[in-house]
Chains A and B, each alone.
Chain A
Amino acid sequence: DSGVTQTPKHLITATGQRVTLRCSPRSGDLSVYWYQQSLDQGLQFLIHYYNGEERAKGNILERFSAQQFPDLHSELNLSSLELGDSALYFCASTSGGGDTGELFFGEGSRLTVL
């Protein structure tokens, strides 16, 4: 158990819909990262938040947004969903800015768009 909690574990929805994925980092961790893993793209970095502020952006679509709240939990919002958004979404946390430290990953949220 990494200490990172992601909900929901599984989610099935239709194209055009909007969903929110939630991540609770390990106690005391200030950094939260979001990754997307699909069969054809592998693990893709989406976005990094540190203590409530966006630190880095990766291959995140404009239809996707994220935020980190004062209690340090984070949410990834996916809107206008397309079939290609079906993937595993992982959240990871670490105590510092993430430059050298170990990332702790959650078990992921599996999104299926029908």
Chain B
Amino acid sequence: DAKTTQPNSMESNEEEPVHLPCNHSTISGTDYIHWYRQLPSQGPEYVIHGLTSNVNNRMASLAIAEDRKSSTLILHRATLRDAAVYYCIHLEYGNKLVFGAGTILRVKS
């Protein structure tokens, strides 16, 4: 299974940007990078995904390094509702989403 490396936890202040890093050094050319988050007592929720170019949606931005071995999920203005476990997943083509331990994001008011 494809492996990713993320910090165990991060802390942010409310209304400030948050940059969540992820390393995926074994990624190949056709593998997508997905981000999901899991709020307390809920199922995982899709955040964003990308292949090569940076991506933006209403929830976040995804910045992908030129060599694609790392990426950063950017929450532009963290709110208390963004406190969750964030999973970075390197999806091998034809494979399934394999979740790692993720990063626990704490947001302080």
* Bound-state Cα–Cα, A82 to B45, Å: 29
| B96 interface neighbour in A42, A58, A100, A105, Cβ under 8 Å | A58
Residue A113 CB within 8 A of the other chain: no
* Bound-state Cα–Cα, A99 to B42, Å: 23
- Residues 74-95 of B, flagged 1 when their CB comes within 8 A of A and 0 if not, give 0000000000000100010111
| A100 interface neighbour in B43, B45, B49, Cβ under 8 Å | B49
Query: Which one of B5-13, B15-23, B60-68, B97-105 contacts A?
Result: B97-105
- In the complex, the chain B residue whose C-beta lies closest to that of A2 is B43
Contact check, B99 vs A56: say whether CB atoms are below 8 A apart: no
* Bound-state Cα–Cα, A100 to B96, Å: 9
Residue A92 CB within 8 A of the other chain: yes
Chain B binding surface SS class: loop
Contact check, B46 vs A43: say whether CB atoms are below 8 A apart: no
Q: Which residues of B pack against A, CB within 8 Å?
A: 32, 36, 38, 42-46, 49, 87, 91, 93-102
Task: Name 22 A/B residue pairs within 8 A (Cβ), A-sorted.
Answer: A2-B43, A2-B45, A33-B96, A43-B38, A43-B44, A43-B99, A44-B99, A45-B97, A45-B98, A48-B96, A56-B95, A56-B96, A58-B96, A98-B97, A99-B32, A99-B91, A100-B32, A100-B49, A103-B97, A104-B46, A105-B44, A105-B45
Closest 6 CB pairs of A and B: A105-B43, A43-B99, A102-B46, A105-B44, A90-B43, A56-B96
Sample of 8 more A-B contacts, CB < 8 Å, known A90-B43, A92-B44, A106-B43: A35-B99, A42-B99, A42-B102, A43-B38, A43-B87, A44-B99, A99-B94, A105-B43
